[in-house]
Amino acid sequence: MSEHTVRLVVNGREMQGSAEARMTLVDFLRDVLGLTGTHVGCEHGVCGACSVLFDGRPVRACLMYAVMADGHAVTTVEGLQGSDGSLSPLQDAFWENHAMQCGYCTPGMLVATHALLAGNPDPSEEDIREAIGGNLCRCTGYVQIVEAVQMAARKMREAKS
Amino acid sequence: MKAASFDYVRANSLAEACKALADAAPDGRIIAGGQTLVPLMAMRLARPAVLVDVNSVAELAGIAVKGDRLVIKACTRQADALASAEVRDNVPLLAEALSHVGHAQTRNRGTVGGSLANADPSAEIPLIVRTLDAEIVAASTTGTRSIAADGYFEAAMMTALAPEECLVEVRFPVWPMRRCGWGFEEISIRRSDFAIVAVAAQVELDAGGACVRIHVGIGGAAPAPLRAGPVEAALAGTALDDAAVRAACAQIAGLVDPDSDVHATADYRRRVATKLAARTIIAARDRARGG
Amino acid sequence: MSERKFRYVSHKRRVKEDKRFITGRGRYAADISLPGMLHVAMVSSPYPCADIKGIDASAALALPGVRAVLTGDELFAHTNPLLSGLDLPHVARTPLACSRVRYAGEWVCAVVAESRYIAEDAAELVAIDYDPQPFVIDPEEAMKPEAPPVHASHGSNIFFRKKWTWGDVDGDFAAAQRRLSYRVRWSRCSTVPVETFAVTARWDEGRDILEVWASIQMPKYPEQIARALRIPVNAVNVHYDVDVGGSYGMKRGIRQTVIVGYLARTLRAPVRFIEDRLENMSGGDAHGPDRIFDVSLAYDDDATVRSIRIRAIDDVGCYPGRAPLQLGKPVGAIVGPYRTASAEYEAISVSTNKTSEEAVRGFGQSPTNFALETGMDHMAAALGLEREEVRRRNLIEAHQFPWTIPSGSAYDSGDYHAVLDKLKAEAGWDRLIERRDELRAAGKLAGLGLSTCLEPSGGNSSFEPLFNPKNDTTTWMEACLVKVDMLGTVSAMIGTTSSGQGHETLVSLAVGEVLERDPDTVRVVRATSLAALPSNSPVGSRMAIMLGGAAAGAAQRIRERVLEIAAHNFQLPVARLVYSGGDVSVEGDPSRTLKWEQLVDIAHRRYHEMPLGAEPGLQANFSWEVPTGGALPTADGRVQMYPCYAFEAHIPLVAIDPDTGKVEIVEYWIAHDCGTVISPDIVRGMTFGGIAHGIGAALYEKYEYNADGQHLSGTFMDYLLPSSHEVPNVHMVKHYTPSPLTTFGQKGAGESGYLGAPAALAGAVNDALAPLGARISTLPMRVRDIEALLAAHRE
C-alpha cells in the first residue's frame, strides 16, 4: 500500500494533500480538500454525479485515482463562479429555468454543460442531450436542464455580439 | 465500493512501464483511461498488486498514417481518435464505431488500447480491429511483437497479451475509400450502454459494382468478436443485392455462440445479429456506390 | 375554471433552494464531517436464505483501524424490533440479520473503522458460516402452502389478504351486457435516487441527546428511532436542514439509523454510514411494488363500465415495513377517474426471499392506474371503439363533483373532459395519428397511447387502520410557525427535510401571499426535531396542500394580529380598515396609515399601545388536520383516503424498430390539472421528472432475480436508468380546476407524470403491436421482450 502526496491545481489554486494510491479523485476532492460540491452516486462510472473538468475536459472523478491527477488541473462546481462570486451565465440560467430539484446531479450537469458551451457556442438540442447523456438525473426529466443550457448559450452569444 | 490496496507507479517511458510490469508480474496491471479497470477494482473483481500508470508516456499517444496502415498508439484517447481527421478519412468505420463507445466523458479518458486490452466481447473497438484484420503490437522487457487480430482475442475479457506485456499500438489496414463503403450498427438498451450485439462491415467494389472484398464482423454474440467468414464467402464477387445479402446472413445464426444475461437472451442476440448484419452490409454497399 | 388573482402564488418566480445547488453549496448527509467520526461498511448475505451457524470477526478486528464488528444478536439484545404497517406479531424485522438471513444482500454485520476504505477491507475478513436453506422467489409459488416459509413463525408467506366489496358487484356483473378479464404485471422497480441513503449519529454525553443527520424522507422518524433505541423521543434531535439528494418515497432509513445510533452510543464516537451503490441496491431501501393484477370489467355495449373486480398480489420481499400499505392507498382511487358504480378489491401481500419493498412515489397508485387503463383499452378493442371515446363516456363530468366512489373517497373537484379536449386540441390528435401512420409506412412499428389518471393528493393515514384495525389512527397533520422579528423581517419554521420539492419556496410564497410581503424576504428555517412542530413529512403528495396550508394559516393569524393592533390604535373596528402589503389604513382615508414597521414595533416594544390582554411580539403557529380526515374506515372498508384529486392525461407516440425491439418515444404530451399552481416551475419539474420515472418503469427498469435467488440488478450497469437520450422533450398543457378544500385551491403535484406515464406507454406499445395481433402485458417492455414477441409472431 503506497501513500502519496498529490499536488494539483484546483479551480485555479495550487492545492495538495495526502492520499493512498487507491483513493479516488472524488474522495480526495471531497474528504481531503474539503470540496464537497462534487458528489458520489455510484462509484462505478455510470451516473456522472462526480463529473469534474480534468485539464479542461469533463471526466468522471470516481474513475480516476487521486495520484493520477498529480500535476494536472481540475475544475469543480466550486470553480464555475466568477472570482467575485458572481454566477456564470450557465449557473444563472439553471436557476432561472429551475434546472434541478434535489441538486445532487447539478454539479455534474454544470460541469458537463460548461464544457459543452466552451467548445460549442450554439449547440442544438441533440448536442445538449449528448453532452449530458452521461449524467443521470432522477428529479427533472432533463427538460428544464436542456432549456437552461439553451438560454445560457443564447445569453453568452448575445453578450459577445 | 473502495478498491483493495495496491502500489502505484507512474511510468515516464514505455521501457519504464515494461520494467514495472515485469517486476510486479503476474500481479501488475497497466492503467491508462481506467474506465473499465477502475469499476472492476471498485467492485474488488480485479485486485492488482501494482498499477502502472502510462498516461504520461508520450511515445504511447498519437495517430499517424504510415504507408497503407493507420497507426494509433495505445494510449490515444477515444475522444481524440473520434475527432481525428486521419481516422475519419482513412478508417471511417472506426470513426463511426468510436461514436458508440461509452459516453463523451468516458471517451475523454478511455483509450483505444485500453479497450483492446480489456477485450469485452461487445466492445466496439475490438470489433473493428477484428473486422479489418488490424495488427496489435505489444512490448515487454524482452522485446516487441506483432499479434494478428485473429490470434489476439482468446475469450471474453481474455487476450493473447501476457501479464508483463504492454500494448503499444494498433495498425489498421487502410482500404481505398473511393471504392469502398462501411456499415456499422449496434443495438444497446440505452444510448450509452454496451452493445448487446454490434455488426461492422466494409466492402470494396470494382468498377462494375461487384464486390471484390467484404469483411463482416460481429460483436457481442460470442466470447470474442468474430468474422462472418461464410457470409463473406457467399457474397464475394456478387453485386450485393438485398435478397442475396439477407440469404447469406441467414448463416449467422449458426456462426455465433451468444450468452444470455440480464439484458438479452442468446436467441435475441442470434436473431438480431442476423438482422443487423443484413442492414450493415446493405449500408456499406450503398456507401461504396455513392462514394 | 375559476380565475383567482394572486399577488405571488402562480407567478413565475425563481426557486429559492436552487441558489445553493448551482454553486455546489448544498449540504448533503455525506458532506457533514465530525471530528473523530467512524465509518461503517456492511457484510451482506450471499444466500437468499441460510441459517447463520457462526460469525468469526477476529481477523477483521485485528486489522489496524477497525473499531468494532456489530452482529445482529448484539443489536437485537439492546434495541426494539422495527414496526410494520401490518398486524404481524410473529414477524420481527431487525436492522441486522439474527440467526437467519432471508434475502441475498441482507446485512449481517456492521463493520466500524476509521475510514470507509478500511471498513471494506475488514468486511471482507469477517468469516460467516452459512447453512443454506430452501427459499422462494416467485410470489405465486410463495402463496402455495408447500412453499418454503420465509418467516416460519408466521405460518405462511401471505402477510395480508383481504377482499372488500363496495356496492352490488355481483348484481352489476350479472346485469352487464359484457365482461372481460385480463392480467397485467408490473415488475419490481423503484425510483432510485442518485444519492444513496446516508446517516451520521452522535451521542452528546453532556446533554444525553442523539444528534442525527440523515438523507431521510420518513414520517415519524425521530419517534421510530427513539422507540427502537429505547430512549425518549426528546432525546433524539434530527437535523432537518440536511439536503436530501432525491428520495421519491424511498428513504425510510430506520434500519440504518438504528445501527448507527446504537454504535454512536456504544463506541462513544460519531458514526457515519453512507450506503455504497451495492449495499443500496440489494440491502438498502431500494425495491418497489412488484404486482400481479387480475382484473375483470363488467360493461355494456355503450362502453359504460358498471363494475370492476381487481385482485392485486404484491410481492413485498422479505420484511413488511410500511410498504405493504401500498396496496391500500389505491383504494382511494380504485375506479380511476370513472363513474363505475361498484367495485371489488382483493389485496394480497406476499413475502418472498427478496429485498424488502419500500415506499415508491405514488404509494401503489401508478401500478394500479396501469391496471385500470389497460382495461379501458381492452374494452375499446372489444367494442371496436376509439380508446379516447370509451374514456369520455365513463369520465366523471365536471358538474358531478364532489363525486364519491364506491370505496368511500370523495373526489373534490375536476374537469376531466375539458383537460382531455385541451390536450387533443394542442397536441393535434389527427396530426399525431398521421405521424404514426407515416412511421408505419417507413417500416417501423408505431403506436399512440392514451391514459387518463388520477393523482390522489394531500396524504392521510387511512390505509393504516384499513389494513390493521388495531392501529386506530386518523391524525395526519402538518404545522408551521411564522414569526415577525422586531425589525419587521419574516421567518417561517418547518420541521421536515426536503428532497427537491422546493418547500422553502412553497412556504415563502404562502406566507408572502397572505402577508402581502415579498416572498424573497421571507426566511424559511428548518428546525431540528426537538424544536420543530409535528410534521408528517413530504409523502402522499401532501406538502403543497398541508404545509402550504399551515404556513398560510400561521400567516393569516399574524395578519389578524396586525389588524387588531391597528384597530386598537385607530380606535376603529377591523372592518373599517384596509390591509395592504403589511401596512394598515383607514378605509377611504389613506392619510391615516400605520406602516408595517410601526405595527411591528408596537407588537415588540410598545405594550402600552397594544390591545388589552394581547400577546406581545408577533408570532403564530398553525397546526391542522388533513381536510376530510379524522374518520376511521367503516366495517366494510369505506373511508376517505386522500382529500384532493389531481388529474392527468398522457399521449405518447412511439416508434419500434421491428428488428431489434427498441422503442423510441417520438413525441410526448401531457395535460395536467393540479388545481391552483403555486410555483409553475416546480410543478413543471415534478411532472417531467415523474414522466422520466414512468419511462423507466415502462421500458427499462426491473430488479431481476435468477432461479438461485441471486439479485442480478445490483449496479447501474444492470439496473438501467433513463438518461437524456431516453427521456424526450415533453409538451405540457395546463388546466386549473381548484380544490374547494385548500387555501389557494392547490392540489398536490409531487407524483404527477409518474402516475399516468407507464399506463400510456403500455397503450402506445400495444397500439404499435396491434396490427400484428400481438400484445404485451408486463412492464417493463424491454427490448428483449418486444423482440421476442415479434419473433414469435413471425413464426
Supply the pLDDT for residue C1: 40
Are residues C544 and C671 part of one domain?
A: no
Give the separation between CA B112 and CA B115, rounded to whole angstroms: 6
The arithmetic mean of pLDDT across residues A132-141, rounded, is: 98
Nearest to A102 among C500, C687, C724 (CB): C500
What's the CATH number where C507 sits? 3.30.365.10
Supply the pLDDT for residue C131: 98
Are residues C394 and C307 part of one domain?
A: yes
Kindly state the percentage of chain C with pLDDT values over 70: 100
Give the separation between CA B200 and CA B219, rounded to whole angstroms: 8
Range A3-18 burial, b when 16+ CB lie within 10 A, else e: ebebebebbeeebebe
A81 and A88 in contact (C-beta within 8 Å)?
yes
Nearest to A136 among C33, C194, C753 (CB): C194
Q: Is the pLDDT of residue C2 over 80?
A: no
Are residues C676 and C580 part of one domain?
A: no
**Residues of chain C by 3-state class (helix, strand, coil), percent to 5:** 30, 25, 40
Could B105 and A22 be called an inter-chain contact, meaning their C-beta atoms sit closer than 8 Å?
A: no
Residue in chain C closest to A80 (alpha carbons) equals C23
Nearest to C245 among A23, A37, A102 (CB): A102
Nearest to A43 among C28, C277, C727 (CB): C277
Could B272 and C660 be called an inter-chain contact, meaning their C-beta atoms sit closer than 8 Å?
A: yes
Candidates C784, C785, C793, C794, partner chain B, best to mutate (most B CBs within 10 A): C784
**A2's torsion region: left (phi>0), alpha (psi -120 to 50) or beta?**
beta
From chain A, the residues in CB contact with C721 under 8 A are: 47, 136, 138
Give the separation between CA C745 and CA C674, rounded to whole angstroms: 9
Candidates C33, C724, C729, C751, partner chain A, best to mutate (most A CBs within 10 A): C724
Supply the pLDDT for residue A9: 98
Give the separation between CA A98 and CA C505, rounded to whole angstroms: 12
Are residues C727 and C654 part of one domain?
A: yes
Neighbour subunits, A (≥3 Cβ pairs < 8 A): B, C
CA distances from B282 to A29, B130, B199, B254, C154 (A): 50, 20, 12, 21, 63
Could B192 and C722 be called an inter-chain contact, meaning their C-beta atoms sit closer than 8 Å?
A: no
From chain C, the residues in CB contact with B279 under 8 A are: 659
Could C715 and B262 be called an inter-chain contact, meaning their C-beta atoms sit closer than 8 Å?
A: no
Nearest to B5 among A22, A51, A112 (CB): A22
**Cα A139 to the center of its chain, rounded Å:** 18
Specify the amino acid at residue B104. A
β-pair partners for A65: A24
Are residues C386 and C490 part of one domain?
A: no
Interface of C with B (CB under 8 A): 116-117, 120-121, 124, 276-278, 659-662, 700, 704, 712-713, 715, 717-718, 720, 722-723, 725-726, 782-784, 787-788, 791
Give the separation between CA A49 and CA C616, rounded to whole angstroms: 50
DSSP track, B77-119: BHHHHHH-HHHHHH-HHHHHHHTTSS-HHHHHH-BHHHHHHH-
Are residues C388 and C517 part of one domain?
A: no
Size of interface A-C (CB pairs under 8 A): 185
Give domain A89-160's CATH number out of 1.10.150.120, 3.10.20.740, 3.40.640.10, 3.30.390.30: 1.10.150.120
Size of interface B-C (CB pairs under 8 A): 62
Give the angle subtended at the CA of C663 by the CAs of C662 and C666, to the nearest 5°: 140
CATH superfamily for A3-79 is Beta-grasp domain (3.10.20.30)
Name residues whose C-beta falls within 8 Å of residue A121's C-beta, 6 or more positions apart in sequence. Answer: A153, A156, A157, A160
For residue C470, being part of any structural domain is answered with no
Domains detected in chain B? 7-53 (3.30.43.10), 58-173 (3.30.465.10), 177-290 (3.30.390.50)
Specify the amino acid at residue B12. N
Could C660 and B275 be called an inter-chain contact, meaning their C-beta atoms sit closer than 8 Å?
A: yes
pLDDT in tens, C518-535: 999 999 999 999 999 999
Q: Is the pLDDT of residue C575 over 80?
A: yes
Which residue, B196, A133, B256, is CA-closest to C657? B196
Quick one: cell of A128? 445538449
Confidence of residue B178 (pLDDT cuts 50, 70, 90): confident
Quick one: cell of B30? 497497466
Do the interacting molecules here have an ipTM over 0.90? yes
Are residues C227 and C205 part of one domain?
A: yes
Residue entry with cell 475490438: B126
pLDDT in tens, A77-96: 999 999 899 999 999 999 99
From chain A, the residues in CB contact with C31 under 8 A are: 30, 36
Could B271 and C120 be called an inter-chain contact, meaning their C-beta atoms sit closer than 8 Å?
A: no
pLDDT in tens, C377-406: 999 999 999 999 999 999 999 999 999 999
Quick one: cell of C400? 358531478
Are residues C441 and C379 part of one domain?
A: yes
From chain B, the residues in CB contact with A62 under 8 A are: 38, 42
CA distance A25 to chain B (A): 12
Are residues C415 and C337 part of one domain?
A: yes
Confidence of residue C795 (pLDDT cuts 50, 70, 90): confident
Long-range contacts of B55-64 (CB under 8 A, 24+ apart): B55/A68, B55/B10, B55/B31, B56/B10, B56/B11, B56/B12, B57/B11, B57/B12, B57/B13, B57/B14, B57/B16, B57/B17, B59/B13, B59/B14, B60/B14, B60/B113, B60/B168, B63/B87
Are residues C381 and C351 part of one domain?
A: yes
Residue A106 sits at φ, ψ, to 5 deg, of -60, -45
pTM for the whole structure: 0.98
Could C681 and A97 be called an inter-chain contact, meaning their C-beta atoms sit closer than 8 Å?
A: yes
Residue entry with cell 468505420: B93
Task: Cis check for the bond before C48: say yes or no (omega within 30 of 0).
Answer: no
From chain C, the residues in CB contact with A103 under 8 A are: 17-18, 20-22, 26, 243, 245, 500
**Number of compact structural domains in chain C:** 3
Nearest to A60 among B51, B53, B105 (CB): B105
Confidence of residue C407 (pLDDT cuts 50, 70, 90): very high
User: Which residues form the domain of C207?
Assistant: 32-133+194-246+251-283
Quick one: cell of C58? 477476529
Are residues C753 and C712 part of one domain?
A: yes
Nearest to B2 among C117, C713, C791 (CB): C117
C447 and C205 in contact (C-beta within 8 Å)?
no
CA distances from C702 to B271, C143, C190, C282 (A): 23, 22, 8, 13
Candidates C121, C280, C787, partner chain B, best to mutate (most B CBs within 10 A): C787
Residue in chain A closest to B38 (alpha carbons) equals A63
Sequence ranges of the domains in chain A: 3-79, 89-160
Kindly state the percentage of chain A with pLDDT values over 90: 96
Among A70-74, B283-287, C84-88, C223-227, the minimum mean pLDDT is found in: C84-88
**A19's torsion region: left (phi>0), alpha (psi -120 to 50) or beta?**
beta
pLDDT in tens, C257-289: 999 999 999 999 999 999 999 999 999 999 999
Quick one: cell of B4? 483493495
Neighbour subunits, C (≥3 Cβ pairs < 8 A): A, B
Confidence of residue A1 (pLDDT cuts 50, 70, 90): low
Residue in chain B closest to C116 (alpha carbons) equals B2
Supply the pLDDT for residue C289: 97
From chain B, the residues in CB contact with A18 under 8 A are: none
Supply the pLDDT for residue B290: 87
Which of C625, C655, C681 delimits the end of a domain?
A: C625
Average pLDDT, chain C: 97
Residue in chain B closest to A60 (alpha carbons) equals B105
Measured from the Cβ of residue B225, the count of other Cβ atoms closer than 10 Å reads 28
For residue C484, being part of any structural domain is answered with yes
Residue in chain A closest to C280 (alpha carbons) equals A42
pLDDT in tens, C444-459: 999 999 999 999 999 9
Give the separation between CA A7 and CA A17, rounded to whole angstroms: 7
Are residues C323 and C260 part of one domain?
A: no
Give the separation between CA C153 and CA C98, rounded to whole angstroms: 14
CA distance B3 to chain A (A): 6
For residue C161, being part of any structural domain is answered with no
Query: Alpha helix (H) ranges present in chain B?
Result: 14-24, 37-42, 78-83, 85-90, 92-98, 104-109, 112-118, 124-132, 149-152, 229-235, 242-249, 252-255, 266-290
